[in-house]
Amino acid sequence: MDVIIEEEGCQLSVEEGTFLKFTTPSKEVVHRLVAIKSIQLNTTSVLSGEVLEKISEYQIHLSLIGKDYETLGEWYGNFPGKSIQLKYKQMQYILNGRGRAYAAQTIYQKILNQISWLDKVGVNPKVLVEYKDQIEYCISANDWDGIFNLELFFSKAYYKLVCELLPDEFKFDSRSRMPAKDPFNALINYSYSYLYRLVEDAITSAGLDVYLGFYHSNERGGKSLVYDLVEEFRPWVDECVVRYCQQLHSASEGDFYYEGDACKIGKTKRKEIMELIKAEFDKVINYRGVQRSRSTQIYYLTTKLKTFIRHGVKTAE
């Protein structure tokens, strides 16, 4: 069970040694400690040393989430023995090249998802299908570097088609990340923050190390495995943000503002888009043969990855 506390002023306390009580201004909820895998709290939550002691004892992953849904801090508890063995196998998975093969398959799955949703909304993704065919050839030849190189060209063609779906006020010249240069990029970057947090929690819940990635660099101390695994699910966010822009059609005063070259989202629109993204990830879909909510799909596939790592399986299928 994953417990997410969004209401402010939540107090955590231990009940009868084996239960954890969550008390907010509106309700009280009690869960058995043994049933909890992870807890996400906001900065107004209150907990004691006794609670942390029990979280460690029951090997629960605790994360503190900021107002922009970024992870501010984490408590992993005490994970002896098995977690060390799993980390060793994760490192072996990187060194023997199987992790890179898995990352390439993830990129391929992202491309299938991008083509799928564009086709669903009436965009002819012919140019994307041509890239997909080349990538399938690379997969058959185990040419993982070829896939990563083709993905760069594919991405430019993809965002060009995405731009055509947007109202004039939300059209953009190119993807801009740090900082966002326009309202669409500001919305997509902000929405990705929810996806990053979800994927990170799925990784830690599975007992994997977020810093041991397969494709993105491990050299700068970034959470490279998070960067690897979010790729497959980005199209779910893209489709949602495009739909939101189409519904807005145009922006009102205060919806967006600039600090230097950086485009920022107003408070009201931040709340609106985040609620929309959360609702989207709560929807139950049939994905890769499994009927689950989008968020649960991420946890499920990350658990499968842990199995692949333990047994040395190189593909995402």
- CATH top-level class for 2-75? alpha beta
Mean pLDDT in residue range 119-130: 82
More confident: 21 or 140: 21
Across the chain, where does the E strand assignment appear?
2-4, 11-15, 19-23, 28-32, 38-42, 61-65, 71-75, 256-259, 262-265, 284-287, 290-293
Identity of the amino acid at 81: G
Q: Give residue 234's pLDDT.
A: 95
User: Taking 70 as the threshold, does the pLDDT of residue 31 lie above it?
Assistant: yes
**How much is the pLDDT for 272?**
92
- Residue spans of the domains in the chain: they are 2-75, 82-311
User: How does residue 19 score in pLDDT terms, banded at 50, 70 and 90?
Assistant: confident
Confidence of residue 253 (pLDDT cuts 50, 70, 90): confident
Mean pLDDT of the chain: 86
Distance CA 23, CA 36 (A): 16
Split at pLDDT 50, 70, 90, the class of 218 is low
pTM over 0.85: no
The answer on pLDDT for 249 being more than 90 is: no
**Class of 82-311 in CATH:** mainly alpha
Read off the pLDDT of each residue in 83-110 and give the average, rounded to a whole number. 87
Decide if pLDDT at 64 tops 60.
yes
Whole-angstrom distance, CA of residue 298 vs CA of residue 293: 9
pLDDT, one tens digit per residue, over 150-195 is: 888 888 889 999 999 999 989 988 888 888 999 999 999 999 999 9
Q: Is the pLDDT of residue 284 over 80?
A: yes
